[in-house]
Amino acid sequence: MTGVFNEAYASAYDAMYADKSNAAECDAVVSLFRKCGDRKISRLLDLGCGTGRHAIELAGRGFDVTGVDFSEAMLARARERAPGKGTLDFAQGDARSYRSAKPFDAVLMNFNVLGYMSSNQDFTAALATARANLRAGGVFVADFWYGPAVVIDPPGERLREITAGDSKILRCSRGTHEPDRQCISIAIRVIEVQQGQIRADSEEVHTMRYFFPLELELALQSHGFRLAALTGYPDIEKPASASEWLAALCAVAI
């Protein structure tokens, strides 16, 4: 995960994903709480919170949220947007090693944070972190790329142009499928143009893992979880499907 979410990328992040429905995704998360939780859920840990979009939305719904991210550039933007948004705190930390003194009712990994755990070492460390920060009966919710769908429909190249105030942002992405590693390496170039001049030009390579159902069930069991739901995302009423890349899991701490 080194070398990603640096200052140039972080500065354009919210504009690039302005059309992403955080409210709909938080609806899905809360619905999974109701389906799988054993009692009222109030304290949430958002691992890999980024610029705080989900954390702020959930705090506004009355949850007590702690957002953790390893990127100070992303956290700086989260803190700028956070004042007055409910019971909310942000801290620098790693999803593979963060430990809180007090357990949470739920742990979240939103926007494919789990996919950034591309090695088995990172993946198992992230699951151990989720379990260590949960009370018994608490829930772990994560969205991820669903392996059967990725194998059937591998990635290509995409170009997006986003208007942000008086600037234009060009996001160019090129995905390279590495099936033997269950990974996709995405080279992302972000160019910000203001008044006809290039203001910023940066490139990062994001290596993302995809997951299969039996793999997830076994890994969760070995880290003290019971897999309670494997669904589409953000429409959790649908099952995970080989026709859709996005899926979500909900697991209960045992």
Q: In this predicted model, what pLDDT tens digit does every residue of 15-50 receive, in sequence order? A: 787 878 899 999 999 999 999 998 899 999 999 999
Do 132 and 43 share a structural domain? Answer: yes
Instruction: Look at residue 1 and tell me whether its pLDDT is greater than 60.
Output: no
For 32, the domain range is 7-146+210-253
Taking alpha carbons only, the member of 117, 127, 162, 153 closest to residue 12 is: 162
E runs forming strands in 146-182: 157-164, 167-178
pLDDT digits (tens, 9 = 90+) for 114-128: 999 999 999 999 999
Q: Order of strands, edge to edge, in the sheet holding 88-92?
A: 88-92, 64-69, 43-47, 104-109, 134-145, 246-253, 225-232
**Which residues face 44 on adjacent strands?**
65, 106
Which CATH number belongs to the domain containing residue 142 in this structure? 3.40.50.150
* Residue 39 resides in a domain: yes
Which CATH number belongs to the domain containing residue 164 in this structure? 2.20.25.110
Task: Transcribe 44-77 into DSSP letters.
Answer: EEEET-TTSHHHHHHHHTT-EEEEEES-HHHHHH
Taking alpha carbons only, the member of 243, 229, 120 closest to residue 182 is: 120
Do 76 and 178 share a structural domain? Answer: no
Name the DSSP class of 166. Answer: T
Do 177 and 138 share a structural domain? Answer: no
Do 227 and 106 share a structural domain? Answer: yes
Do 167 and 53 share a structural domain? Answer: no
Do 179 and 155 share a structural domain? Answer: yes
Do 107 and 167 share a structural domain? Answer: no
pLDDT digits (tens, 9 = 90+) for 235-251: 999 999 999 999 999 99
* Residue 174 resides in a domain: yes
**Token pair of 87 as six digits:** 């019971």
**What is the average per-residue pLDDT within 190-210?**
92
* Residue 124 resides in a domain: yes
* Residue 2 resides in a domain: no
Residue at a domain's end among 192, 208, 224: 208
The domain total for the chain is: 2
Do 88 and 11 share a structural domain? Answer: yes
Do 131 and 94 share a structural domain? Answer: yes
Taking alpha carbons only, the member of 114, 109, 67 closest to residue 89 is: 67
**What is the average per-residue pLDDT within 167-176?**
94
Do 170 and 216 share a structural domain? Answer: no
Do 198 and 166 share a structural domain? Answer: yes
Instruction: Look at residue 144 and tell me whether its pLDDT is greater than 80.
Output: yes
Do 130 and 24 share a structural domain? Answer: yes
pLDDT of residue 86: 64
* Residue 217 resides in a domain: yes
* Residue 1 resides in a domain: no
